[in-house]
Amino acid sequence: MTDDKEKGMFSASDIVTDRNTSATDFPRVEELPLPKDFAWGTATAAYQVEGGAFQDDKGASIWDTYSHLEPSRTNEENADVACDHYNRVEEDVKLMASLGVDVYRFSVSWSRIIPLGGRNDTVNEKGIAFYSNLIDQLLAHGIEPVVTLYHWDVPQALYDRYRAFLNTKEFQADFENYARLCFTRFGDRVQKWVTFNEPYIISIFAHLNGTLAPGHCREAGTDTKTEPWRVGHTIILSHAVVVQMYMNEFHSLQKGQISIVLNGHFYEPYDSENPLDRDAAERRLIFYIGWFGDPVFLGGDYPPVMRAYLGSRLPEFTPEELQLLAHTAPMNAFYGMNHYSTKYARALSDPPAEDDWTGNIEELPTNSNGEEVGPVTGVAWLRVAPNGFRKLLNWVWNRYHLPVIVTENGCPCPGEAVVSTAVKDVLRQRYIGLYLDAISRAIYEDGVPVHGYYVWSLMDNYGKLFLQAMECPG
């Protein structure tokens, strides 16, 4: 049986509310060097910070709907206001400038600029003006905008029309239209684009566990055996189509870069002497990261181990789609990595559930000797394990040979609901310092080209809810 956190089932005990872990439990930060041109950034997501949920003709997204369901699935919380970034953008940009930030990675709310989302639907010029102003404000303060097109918030109208990602043909056409609008209106000032943030989370947590919007698996008639893999298939092909469109239509003038952001833990074997557990650790990485990374960055089919395990549950690429992937793979300019923690992987001997998505692997915070993977932070699953981070940087580089940008990393502190505790965040400082040291070692000792680090997040945001309820805070 897999970790309950991976299944999306949680209780209050999962939240660390006191300082039972202190910074003295951590290794010492060495403050190792990083390249002079290393990009220091921060990141947010539109729904989690913008607020203005229904302001200036913005349409509803699946999160606007999900966070208002009764009974509540989000602890009676919503992001109608959140950090009010929509109305305080100038103040927030000045805050970034005061911190010496080089890069701000933000996402565009699809339903803010096309309220109903579709390729034949009306464009909202007020939404366009907001993002145009944000980009101008950033550039005026010497901050590079890095724009994510999709960070979990598909327009509700598209979900109502055809269930969004579950209809590959329709979604692909609407996403391509939306992306073209963004490239047309903002591309003269944006040099880095991300198509999708964390497709694993979109596929599993939104369409299998039902932990996140739209909570699809809770609806009658859903099929958790096949639908999450169909969602992933749609994301891969939609990414490829948009990459091809950008390179064919915009790159010659705009000279920008484009790629995707994948999240993933690193996995160590539960029993390092057991070959089954060693295989389980590698297999879990492939099911988590290789699922998307191999077709997108290697330009071919899904990993053979996934094909063998999932059989007909995993969609087939047509010859034309494989050709598209082979053509677009070299166009991905960087590997966007969201990473937070490391786990132990143990191979299970009992038969898996019919809708198992892990490769029949259990994830644990301790190994066969009872050793913890690292000190706990503000949530039980997020352990401080910088050595695992370094190993993951190497794993990604050795597999895909693309420069890495760490597009999200960070941690919550125990008890930080208390303002004084949140402000004196020694634990978070130690965590970030250790992970930056791991990047330095990966660069200078292992030869991994890591070009930047964007801390999650710029400000305390609605995303804390996700930290409390799932495997990944981004």
pLDDT given for residue 21 in this prediction: 61
Cα–Cα distance for residue pair 326/315, rounded to 1 Å: 17
* pLDDT one digit per residue (tens) for the chain, 474 residues: 334 334 333 333 344 444 456 656 778 999 999 999 999 999 999 999 999 999 999 999 999 999 999 999 898 999 999 999 999 999 999 999 999 999 999 999 999 999 999 999 999 999 999 999 999 999 999 999 999 999 999 999 999 999 999 999 999 999 999 999 999 999 999 999 999 999 999 999 999 988 899 998 867 789 999 999 999 999 999 999 999 999 999 999 999 999 999 999 999 999 999 999 999 999 999 999 999 999 999 999 999 999 999 999 999 999 999 999 999 999 999 999 999 999 999 999 999 999 999 999 999 999 999 999 999 999 999 999 999 999 999 999 999 999 999 999 999 988 887 888 788 889 999 999 999 999 999 999 999 999 999 999 999 888 655 545 444 333
pLDDT given for residue 24 in this prediction: 63
Cα–Cα distance for residue pair 68/400, rounded to 1 Å: 41
Say which of 198, 268, 321, 363 is annotated catalytic: 198
CA-nearest of 212, 172, 87, 98 to 474 is 212
408 labelled catalytic = yes
pLDDT given for residue 44 in this prediction: 97
For residues 389, 395, 398 and 400, what is the CA-based torsion angle, rounded to 10 degrees?
Answer: -100
Tokens of 206: 């939104």
Q: Assess contact for 143 and 96: CB atoms under 8 A.
A: yes
Q: Assess contact for 1 and 348: CB atoms under 8 A.
A: yes
3-state secondary structure 184-237: HHHCCCCCEEEEEECHHHHHHCCCCCCCCCCCHHHCCCCCCCCHHHHHHHHHHH
pLDDT given for residue 27 in this prediction: 85
Three-state secondary structure call for residue 45: coil
320 labelled catalytic = no
CA-nearest of 162, 165, 308, 310 to 226 is 310
pLDDT given for residue 15 in this prediction: 42
pLDDT given for residue 269 in this prediction: 98
Q: Assess contact for 28 and 441: CB atoms under 8 A.
A: no
Q: Assess contact for 191 and 144: CB atoms under 8 A.
A: yes
The 8-class DSSP code of residue 68 comes to: T
β-bridge mates for residue 191, sequence order: none
pLDDT given for residue 5 in this prediction: 36
pLDDT given for residue 463 in this prediction: 66
Say which of 227, 321, 408, 471 is annotated catalytic: 408
Q: Which amino acid is at 58?
A: K
Phi, psi of 105 (to 5 degrees): -95, 115
pLDDT given for residue 249 in this prediction: 98
Three-state secondary structure call for residue 339: coil
